Amino acid sequence: MKTSIKKQQCDNWEIVECTTQGKRSSMEDSSVFMSPFISDTSLLLAVFDGHVGTRCSNYLSNVIPMELRKQTKQIQSVIPSKETFYNVFDSTDQRWLESVKGNKIEDGSTALCVALDGPDLVVANCGDSRAILCQAGQTTALTRDHKPTDYEENQRILVQGGTVIGGRLQGKLGVSRAFGNYEFKESRYLSSEPEVIQVKLTDEAEFLVVGCDGLYERFSNEEIVKFIKTGLLQYPLQDVVQELVAEAIDRGSEDNITVIVVKFEKAYRKLLRKRARKSAKSAQNLIPLGKGISLVTSGKTSVKTIHSESPSPPEPAKNGSLFGKKGLALRTSGKSNQAEPSVLLSLSVQTDSKSRKTDRDHKKSSKSSKSSPSPPPRSPKHFDSGEDKYFKSHSQGGHTKSSIKHEIFGRAVLTKSG
């Protein structure tokens, strides 16, 4: 019984791959891990479980990872998009089928690819291999088995005119999605379209497991996570993964077994925390100011209280600013350290004709207010608690809510129209 181990360790993660022929007469599985994939924080894992022969799975392991890297670079990314996975899976299957056409080669293979960059995890599955994630002590299944007995897969097969006999496609094939298998592709019963999902990792991510059905036939997802977590308390990852494979064979697995485990290191979890804080800070810097008004801050300017008067979110602008359907948008310089909200927002002011008209009307009303008594302040029920406190403190100076807003934001007139 042939068993091989590959491992790699860096600041971000430790990877161990273990493959064994098991009780089979030949090894039809093929697997690849690429670290780094494109950037130092990107990674690609792939497992190909062949059937009827080794040629298709070997072909996929040589072609798919390199094609994914090529097309990912073409879109100037460090992780494949959903569209990239769809394109690569489809084109690779078509090329394989064309190469074996007329040669009576019925080899086929499942394919499972997992791409990672920072907190972004993309999983593309075609077949019955599995990927599971242990995060915050919880087990998360990242794939669904594509079996003819699965309801959705069964319905697709029946619509195409196929049958499921004894839980197998046309009574022969145990999976409903795979590469190759020319006989079934002609009749369209078998699909090579992957099921792609996207997941966000947190700083509580512990490890990721990718493996073929030879492993999962004897373990549930939860059992695998418990086995690895318990083993890591005393032993290095390589020993734990080897013992996991040996246990699967002891439990009666007669298939080839391939498993890749990625254990996330402290440095990587620290990176995830840093990116999460940056993402949260960016989200906080988007502040809706009111009807038709949005503010995008740099995060450095202190603005005590700014309230939204409209529940509708701002819409993205072509120039990168965010602004409502009617109104203007502001970006701060990020250089002011004033504690009060009376900061000067002097960058990227945009307005429509209605806003400009409001500006002119406001200037006129400001001139006339010098000679006429100021109107009584509005009832506190119209204001939020923060606004109410601020406006009350200025009511002695004869300011209305509109003029106070004019004072707060300096020369960028934000008077609410109407």
Q: Which of residues 273, 294, 314 is at a domain's end? A: 273
CA nearest to 183, candidates 193, 166, 174, 170: 170
**Pair 132, 225: CB distance under 8 Å:** yes
> What is the tens place of the pLDDT at every residue in 252-277?
999 999 999 999 999 999 999 998 88
DSSP element (H, E) containing 405? helix 401-408
> What is the tens place of the pLDDT at every residue in 349-397?
343 444 444 454 555 555 554 444 555 554 444 434 444 443 344 444 4
User: How would you classify the pairing of strands 42-51 and 29-34?
Assistant: antiparallel
**pLDDT confidence of 297, banded at 50, 70, 90?**
very low
> What is the tens place of the pLDDT at every residue in 143-197?
999 999 999 999 999 999 999 999 999 999 999 999 999 989 888 899 999 999 9
Question: What is the mean pLDDT of the segment spanning 28-57?
Answer: 96
Which CATH number goes with the domain that contains 68?
A: 3.60.40.10
Report residue 391 CA to chain centroid gap: 44
Q: What are phi and psi of 367, to 5 degrees?
A: -65, -45
Verify that 233 and 354 share a domain, yes or no.
no
DSSP structure string for 214-254: HHHTT--HHHHHHHHHHHHTTS-HHHHHHHHHHHHHHTT--
CA atoms within 13 A on the CB side of 386: 8
Q: Evaluate whether residue 382 is within a structural domain.
A: yes
Q: What is the pLDDT of residue 348?
A: 35
Verify that 269 and 348 share a domain, yes or no.
no
Verify that 168 and 226 share a domain, yes or no.
yes
Residue entry with tokens 């077994």: 257
Q: Which of residues 251, 273, 295 is at a domain's end? A: 273
What is the Cα–Cα distance from 151 to 145, expressed in whole angstroms? 11
**pLDDT confidence of 67, banded at 50, 70, 90?**
very high
Question: What is the mean pLDDT of the segment spanning 55-81?
Answer: 97
Count: domains in the chain: 2
Using CA of residue 299, residue 305, residue 310, residue 311, what is the dihedral sign? Answer: positive
Average pLDDT, rounded, for the chain? 78
CA distances to 12, 111, 120 from 15, in Å: 10, 19, 18
Question: What is the mean pLDDT of the segment spanning 60-79?
Answer: 97
**pLDDT confidence of 302, banded at 50, 70, 90?**
very low
Query: What is residue 415's three-state secondary structure?
Result: coil
- Domain of residue 296 covers 285-408
What is the Cα–Cα distance from 340 to 273, expressed in whole angstroms? 31
Verify that 243 and 290 share a domain, yes or no.
no
Verify that 138 and 263 share a domain, yes or no.
yes
Verify that 239 and 147 share a domain, yes or no.
yes
Can you read off the two tokens belonging to residue 407?
């004072």
